[in-house]
Amino acid sequence: MTRFDLPSGSEAPQLLQPCPLVPVLRVTAIIDAPTCTVAGLLREAALLTESMRRCGHSADVPQPFLTIGDHVRLRVRLLPGLRLPLVTTVTHADAAGWASRLVSGGLPELELSTILSETPAGALVLDEIRWRAPWGALGRVLDVAVARRLVLRLLAVHRSLLISRAAELAGADIVVGAAVVRDGRLLVARRSRPADLAGRWELPGGQVEPGEPEADALARECLEELAVTIIVGDQVGPDLPLGRRRLLRIYAATLPAGEPRAIEHAELRWVRATELRTLDWLPADRAVLPELSELLRSR
């Protein structure tokens, strides 16, 4: 067992090697936050890029939040002057975890996954990384001498940032969004303001007032924005950070009667699951497109 010091609230890592060609690294920790919040933080691109930067690597992430199908370009610093280019794709992202795998680059194999579970002390986070070293015997030497140390360092830094970010969001202001579904279609709204967001699509909703239940806030916002009464259901997807001190929570909703009107938006539209990725979404709403697609398929 290999051990190193982690921030408070974390446990020591375990390095397992069932086969010398396919190392498996598993690290567990408890984070004092709900799993739905930690799941959202795992999709935050800034957390990944900052972790890589602090370890001397770099990451090019296309969106502020990662979702299934997104590609991430990595440059891993193995030694001074030697960087390993990698391209990974997100293969799984939901409220219970996240996963990606290698698409191209200098490794024959690379898989990363994070599994979340709720405990009385907070979210239990299990990270697992599998990889296969290139370059034959030389690759195996570099794997033992360099790669494992780099992976342990990166996981420690990422975990430290994750813990700090979760603490920062404790008691954050809540913004709620409504995934209103009717006849297999989702109600979407096109922003009219501010200028930098005008024309992009989002789910209707707004800010929760102090002491206001989230379901009541969402019903109030939809009445103000759409002139209809909705019935609020379960949360869809994880909490998503909006800046430093706000979280977005999206809830499934139904519309028992009436036709919504675009009172505060430029346009409203009902779309099917196949149309979701054709719209220019705000980043946080885009992050839950897989969950929205699943919601539409289940209705």
From start to end of 52-96, where are the E strands? 58-60, 71-79, 82-94
Q: Report which residue type is found at 260.
A: P
pLDDT of res. 101: 95
Q: Are residues 146 and 20 in the same domain?
A: yes
Q: Are residues 190 and 160 in the same domain?
A: no
For residue 60, give the CATH number of its domain.
Answer: 3.30.530.20
Judge whether 186 lies within some domain. yes
Q: Where are the alpha helices (DSSP H) in 62-204?
A: 136-142, 148-168
* Residue at a domain's end among 122, 146, 168: 168
pLDDT of res. 25: 84
Smallest CA-to-CA distance from 88 within 123, 115, 117, 57 is with 57
For residue 217, give the CATH number of its domain.
Answer: 3.90.79.10
pLDDT of res. 107: 83
pLDDT of res. 144: 58
* Residue at a domain's end among 146, 168, 190: 168
Q: DSSP for 231-271, please give it.
A: EEEEEEEEEEE-SSSEEEEEEEEE--SS----SSSSEEEEE
Q: Are residues 96 and 215 in the same domain?
A: no
* Residue at a domain's end among 168, 190, 217: 168
Range of the domain at 137: 14-168
pTM reported for the whole predicted model: 0.85
Radius of gyration of the chain (CA): 21
List the pLDDT tens digit at each of the 299 positions of the chain. 333 333 334 443 333 333 344 568 888 999 999 999 999 999 999 999 999 999 999 999 989 999 999 999 999 988 788 898 999 999 999 888 999 999 999 788 899 999 999 999 999 999 998 887 776 666 565 665 567 788 888 999 999 999 999 999 999 999 999 999 999 999 999 999 888 889 999 999 999 999 999 999 999 999 999 999 999 999 999 999 998 899 999 999 999 999 999 999 999 999 999 999 999 999 999 999 999 999 999 87
Task: Give the whole-angstrom CA distance, residue 7 versus residue 182.
Answer: 47
pLDDT of res. 152: 86
Bridging pattern class, strands 97-105 and 246-254: unpaired
Judge whether 3 lies within some domain. no
pLDDT of res. 13: 38
Q: Are residues 115 and 190 in the same domain?
A: no
pLDDT of res. 282: 96
Q: Are residues 26 and 143 in the same domain?
A: yes
Q: Are residues 164 and 177 in the same domain?
A: no
